[in-house]
């Protein structure tokens, strides 16, 4: 039986969370997006300092399975879930559900009345089953490649 612990981001997590992000996109979202889209979304070459700065700013929660980062997700003061990723080998075992429950509890205790996110086609059913509804759809151009996603929201 493996252990699941959720704790706040620590600065040393940045490289491990990059690996989670890349695995999540390239192993899981490949069902729904082309190789060009995956490469634009999660490039394997990246600016490690900028990544660490971004994580330091949004301060995600990190899910540790047997002490190793398996997923991460954040909630911002305006209810935005900015990043939400589970590594491919850890998917489908409840890590995403545990992170989502943690974000809900965090939001409620912080007086946040509404959660929202830009959600990939891969994650849309997961969010929908947890009460989020599609508010709009849009296409963004990332590193010259078009990516489509849905804006989803949920009143708490």
Ligand X SMILES: CC(C)(COP(=O)(O)OP(=O)(O)OC[C@H]1O[C@@H](n2cnc3c(N)ncnc32)[C@H](O)[C@@H]1OP(=O)(O)O)[C@@H](O)C(=O)NCCC(=O)NCCS
Distance in Å, CB of 80 to ligand X, minimum: 11
92 Cβ neighbours under 8 A, 6+ residues apart: none
Of 119, 132, 147, 154, the residue at the interface with ligand X (CB under 6 A) is: 119
Q: Does 95 bind ligand X (CB under 6 A)?
A: yes
Nearer to ligand X, 96 or 112 (CB): 96
Nearer to ligand X, 28 or 40 (CB): 28
Structure tokens at 60: 């995600």
Q: Does 29 bind ligand X (CB under 6 A)?
A: yes
**Concatenated DSSP letters of the chain:** ---EEEEE--GGGHHHHHHHHHHIIIIIGGGTS-HHHHHHHS-SS--HHHHHHHHHHH--EEEEETTEEEEEE---TTSB---EEE-GGGTTSSHHHHHHHHHHHHHHHTT--EEEEEE-TTTHHHHHHTT-EEEEEEEEEETTEEEEEEEEEEE-
Nearer to ligand X, 52 or 126 (CB): 126
Q: Does 126 bind ligand X (CB under 6 A)?
A: yes
**Measured at CB, which residue is nearest to ligand X?**
96
Nearer to ligand X, 36 or 111 (CB): 36
Q: Does 41 bind ligand X (CB under 6 A)?
A: no
Q: Does 84 bind ligand X (CB under 6 A)?
A: yes
Contact residues for ligand X, defined by CB under 6 A: 24-25, 28-29, 71, 84-86, 91-97, 117, 119-120, 122-123, 125-126, 129
């Amino acid at each position: 039986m493996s252990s699941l612990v959720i704790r706040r981001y620590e600065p040393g997590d940045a490289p491990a969370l990059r690996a989670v992000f890349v695995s999540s996109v390239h192993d899981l979202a490949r069902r729904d997006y082309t190789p060009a889209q995956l490469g634009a979304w999660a490039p394997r070459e990246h600016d490690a300092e900028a990544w660490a700065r971004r994580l330091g700013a949004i301060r995600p929660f990190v899910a540790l399975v047997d002490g190793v980062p398996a997923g991460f997700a954040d909630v911002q003061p305006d209810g935005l879930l900015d990043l939400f990723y589970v590594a491919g080998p850890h998917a489908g075992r409840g890590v995403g559900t545990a992170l989502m429950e943690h974000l809900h509890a965090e939001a409620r205790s912080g007086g946040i009345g509404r959660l929202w996110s830009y959600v990939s086609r891969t994650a849309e059913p997961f969010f929908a089953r947890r009460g989020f509804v599609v508010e709009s759809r849009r296409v963004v151009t990332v590193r010259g490649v078009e990516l489509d996603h849905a804006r989803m929201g949920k009143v708490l």
